[in-house]
Amino acid sequence: MSLSQSAALNVVPLLARLVLAAVFIPAGYNKLMKEAEFSGEEAKRLRELSVIASSSNSLTGSQSGIPPAVALANPLVGQAAPPKVVDPAAPSKPTTDETPVTNPPAKPSDGATTAPPVAGEPVKARALHRVTIMVDKAGWPYQTWLAWLAAVTEFVGGICLVLGLFTRMWGLGLAVTMGVAFYLTSYDQVLSTMVIGMPVDGFTRYSSQVALFALAFGLFLTGAGSGSIDRRLSSGGGSGGGKKPASDG
């Protein structure tokens, strides 16, 4: 076997595994373990999808601005004051003193405008739900399940690629993940600008998706190469089961 053939069968798959693992392990970890902030329509939509619990005010003190812990500790807190008992024999006070004095509402400072209420209160959720929002905007069903599937495929698949375990399966899974990511984030932009006129950030995203797809799909075709668990399993664990039989001649 020539040097180029040996490199194609062993070195190139090893480099592809390492590059894909270096990209997908951090990407999957951040989606699974870290949080992102969602606001406006995104926060509202995540509540509708039951990704996060809807913020509902309890009747115990929350509507009056009293912390729930204080309201639960003292049931009388936040309740309306009982009506005063008026003694008929007591002399009546002038009516002018009964008018409560209220402070006029504060006027906004010069140039300040009152912002309209947002559609959804800002919330924090797992970063993988950014994928949930993208899938939902595309009109696909099972938005949450697809987001979890993408994050787990990236993280677990990246680890398995380092080890060279079930390389073809994870290579295909990561290739599909990159194909879906390309369709959701870059496909329309590529059609409208024909790549040449794409902005820098869009072109960087597009090129990385295409390159990662090519590497992952290449591993699906070639396998793990040398230095992998797959190679040891296919050769009988190095116990002699993988030795070539002697030629008849």
For 18, half-sphere exposure in the C-beta direction (CA atoms, 13 angstrom radius) is 9
Residues 148-202: tens digit of each pLDDT: 999 999 999 999 999 999 999 999 999 999 999 999 999 988 888 878 888 888 8
Q: Greatest CA separation found in the chain?
A: 130
222 and 167 in contact (C-beta within 8 Å)?
no
Residues 103-123: tens digit of each pLDDT: 555 555 544 444 443 444 788
Residues 125-156: tens digit of each pLDDT: 999 999 999 999 999 999 999 999 999 999 99
Residues paired with residue 126 on neighbouring β-strands, in sequence order: 35
Coil, strand, or helix at residue 87?
A: coil
Consecutive H or E run containing 37: strand 35-38
- Alpha carbons 48 and 143: distance in angstroms, whole number: 12
Angstrom CA distances, 229 to 86, 162, 169, 235, stand at 89, 10, 14, 10
Residues 11-38: tens digit of each pLDDT: 889 999 999 999 999 999 999 999 999 9
